[in-house]
Amino acid sequence: MEELDIQNKDVSLTDYSKAREKGIVATSFVGIGGNVLLVAIKAVVGFLAGSISLIMDALNNLTDALSSIITIIGTKLSNKKPDRKHPYGHGRIEYLTATIIGAIILFAGGMAIYESIVSIVDYFSTKIMPNYTVVALILIGVGIIIKLGIGLFYRIQAKKLNSDTLKASATDALFDVALSLGTLVSAIVALYGHFYIEGYVGIVIGLFILKSGFGIIRESLSLIIGIRIDDETTTKIKVDIASIDGVYGVYDLILNNYGTNKYIGSVHIAVKEDLNAQDIMTLEKKISGMMYLKYNMIMTVGVYAENISSPVAKEIKSYLDELTSENENILSTHGFYINEEEKFVFYDIVISFDDKTPQDTCDGIKEKLKEKFPEYKYICNIDYDY
């Protein structure tokens, strides 16, 4: 499958979505086939050897096949077109899919621990160990190789297709490798050392599986709630917008995620105050067009007409900068505008989420400005570091 780049203007965004869906579905079918094969191998060997851990391993592979089916369904649903009830599309279904897979992983980990405890209790009651053979060990080893291949394939495809569900499946598969390795070590020790460790190994591995499941659920729920876009992406977007002639500052970038590579957002730009409506509209169209073609984002553009050319404007702006620089919770200021005729001063301050009383911070700055320049009224807008 060819990796597509949505930042290439020659690539249709619709074609990219279709190719991505096709890639995820194809990868999931590979996983289903591999896991069904593993279920057959481990179930037969487990029943013949009387190994509860191997039987549970087979059950775990069966849940992996189920996870792949859920991935296919979730991917298909997430690519449904927007409708009247869901105008932003259905992309977040993919995050729900990852959450379900995380829950399946938690179930598998819980069952592994439960059955391991039962195995320990049975062993101390009967002193009977699983009856492994060399052939059984070889089949377990083959199963480990197959599962490792599936896990690595999932991981490669998850990165290539930017898929959280495949990433979750890859994590699950690689933990299954650890589970099977534990089973193999236990079998070797039982066959050649006549020593029981199977149940203890199963508990340890089960705990690691639980940790993985909680991690996947936490990450997918964070995506559903809405997380901060990484600094590298936001910096790149701001640089691209600032490179457009006529833009003198980029502020208040907000991006809302509605699925993989599906964003709706807003941004403010600073321009000269003497631009006319036609000039501003031209800038807005350049920015929104670039954002859609290069980043697959629907962007609303707002405008700040900053005017600090007069002596009084420079003096007030300089004092505002001085006040805000003294407060570690104020990250920056922008959107400064003064109306000298009506005696109004507008400005925005970006406040850290660490500040528990942002309104008090804003009011404190305002009071100090009033003390020095009492003839003006001050309108402060609080922004956060989105």
Residue pair 166/71 in contact by the 8 Å Cβ criterion: yes
For residue 377, CA distances in Å to 37, 337, 359, 374 come to: 75, 12, 17, 8
Residue pair 218/230 in contact by the 8 Å Cβ criterion: no
Burial of residue 145 (CB within 10 Å: 0-12, 13-18, 19+) is exposed
- As given in the structure block, the two tokens for residue 285 are 């169209």
153-174 confidence digits (pLDDT tens): 999 998 888 887 888 888 878 8
Residue pair 386/371 in contact by the 8 Å Cβ criterion: no
Q: In this model, does residue 11 exceed pLDDT 50?
A: no
Mean pLDDT of 292-311: 85
- Higher per-residue confidence, 65 vs 12: 65
* HSE-up of residue 152 (Cα within 13 Å, Cβ side): 6
3-state helix, strand, coil in the chain (%, to 5): 65, 15, 25
Question: pTM score, two decimals?
Answer: 0.69
Helix (H) or strand (E) holding 45: helix 13-49
Q: What is the CA radius of gyration of the chain?
A: 29
Task: List, edge to edge, every strand of the sheet that includes 377-384.
Answer: 330-339, 344-351, 377-384
Q: In this model, does residue 109 exceed pLDDT 70?
A: yes
Distance CA 332, CA 251 (A): 10
Residue 3 banded pLDDT, cuts 50, 70, 90: very low
276-285 confidence digits (pLDDT tens): 889 999 999 9
Q: Where are the alpha helices (DSSP H) in the chain?
A: 13-49, 52-78, 93-126, 134-161, 164-188, 198-225, 231-242, 277-295, 311-325, 358-372
Burial of residue 61 (CB within 10 Å: 0-12, 13-18, 19+) is buried
Please, what are the domains in the chain? 13-225 (1.20.1510.10), 231-384 (3.30.70.1350)
211-262 confidence digits (pLDDT tens): 878 888 888 888 888 777 788 888 899 999 999 999 988 998 988 888 777 7
C-alpha 292 chain-centroid distance = 21
Q: At what angle do helices 134-161 and 164-188 cross, to 10 degrees?
A: 160
57-98 confidence digits (pLDDT tens): 787 788 788 888 888 888 888 888 888 888 888 888 888 888
Distance CA 57, CA 76 (A): 29
Residue pair 1/29 in contact by the 8 Å Cβ criterion: no
Backbone angles phi, psi at 275, to 5 degrees: -70, 145
Q: In this model, does residue 129 exceed pLDDT 80?
A: no
